Amino acid sequence: MARRPRWNLPGLTQLVGVRGNNGQPVFLDDADRLRWLDLARQEAKRLSVRVHAFSLLEDQAYWLVTPDEGGAVSQWMQSLGRHYVRVFNQRHQRTGTLWEGRYQTGVIQPERHLLDAMVYLDWLPVWKGLVAQPSDWPWSSHRCAAGLETSKWLQFHPLLWGLGDTPFAREAAYAKRVAAGLSHDKRRDLADVARFGWALGDRDFLTQLEQRAQRPVQRRPAGRPSKSASGVPGG
């Protein structure tokens, strides 16, 4: 199957994921995670990639970002992955690849799905059995968004700021949203975006995105198109 082209347009909010090769860990300790975040911060600043949220697991890492320039996410992930592998291999006295193929990135419509995408990232450590609650995991952006910690480099999206008129109100509203969790369908849709690189949004958003990107933005139904009695596909 041919590889789908990258989302290289500016201003698209993207859910980005990378996995360890054959499910192997990509973070062996906290020093690895700190190095990964430091490299991500440096390269995001250099390439004008706004990082809204993240979640680091043992064998995977996920980001919610918006690039200001076309192609910036690709440059960011390639540079981050290359620099991190070099440091990781030197530190742990190993050689060879670390990642399972290319990173994956899909597009979301912020107005409809950005806050849910943040909640999705917050819950990943829980679903993976690493902790009991999102607030128990120190290696995601949840504690910063919920007001339990501060961050000098995350750039929270205006939709998060809009949850309340004061920091306390905003943080409480976000924590309440996280506590409510996600429906099965919403969780599945966001997982598809993160893993397969599709787009998630309403019909107008997807139509405009497909015209702009000149590529399919959602999975096509299997099989031949249905025909109406008039012989017009889908009529």
How many folded domains does the chain comprise? 1
Q: Which domain holds residue 65?
A: 14-208
Q: What is the pLDDT of residues 167-185, one digit of tens each?
A: 999 999 999 999 999 999 9
The stretch 185-190 carries a mean pLDDT of 96
Whether residue 53 has pLDDT greater than 70: yes
Inside any domain, residue 233: no
Q: What is the pLDDT of residues 62-120, one digit of tens each?
A: 999 999 999 999 999 999 999 999 999 999 999 988 999 889 999 999 999 999 999 99
Interatomic CA distance for residues 8 and 68, integer angstroms: 11
CA dihedral 41, 213, 102, 56 (to 10 degrees): 40
Beta strands in the chain (DSSP E): 14-19, 49-56, 60-67, 104-108, 199-200
With respect to residue 35, please indicate whether it lies within any of the assigned structural domains.
Answer: yes
pTM over 0.85: yes
Q: Is 219 within a domain?
A: no
Read off the CATH number of the domain in which 88 is found.
3.30.70.1290
pLDDT digits (tens, 9 = 90+) for 130-141: 999 999 999 999
Residue 55 lies in a domain: yes
pLDDT of residue 220: 67
Q: Which two tokens stand for residue 123?
A: 């819950």
Does residue 115 lie in a domain region? yes
**Residue 193 reports pLDDT greater than 80:** yes
Q: How far apart are CA 208 and CA 17, in angstroms?
A: 24
Structure token pair of residue 235? 């009529």
Position 216 scores a pLDDT of 81
Q: Which residue has the higher pLDDT, 31 or 152?
A: 31
Region of 229 on the Ramachandran plot (φ > 0 left; ψ -120 to 50 alpha; else beta) = alpha
Question: Which two structure tokens, joined as six digits, stand for 2?
Answer: 């041919």
Strands 199-200 and 104-108: parallel
Residue 147 included in any domain: yes
pLDDT in the model for residue 234: 37
Asked, for residue 179, whether it belongs to a domain, the answer is yes
The model's pLDDT over 13-47, given as tens digits with 9 standing for 90+, comes to 999 999 999 999 999 999 999 999 999 999 999 99
226 in any annotated domain: no
Residue 132: how many CB atoms within 10 A of its CB? 10
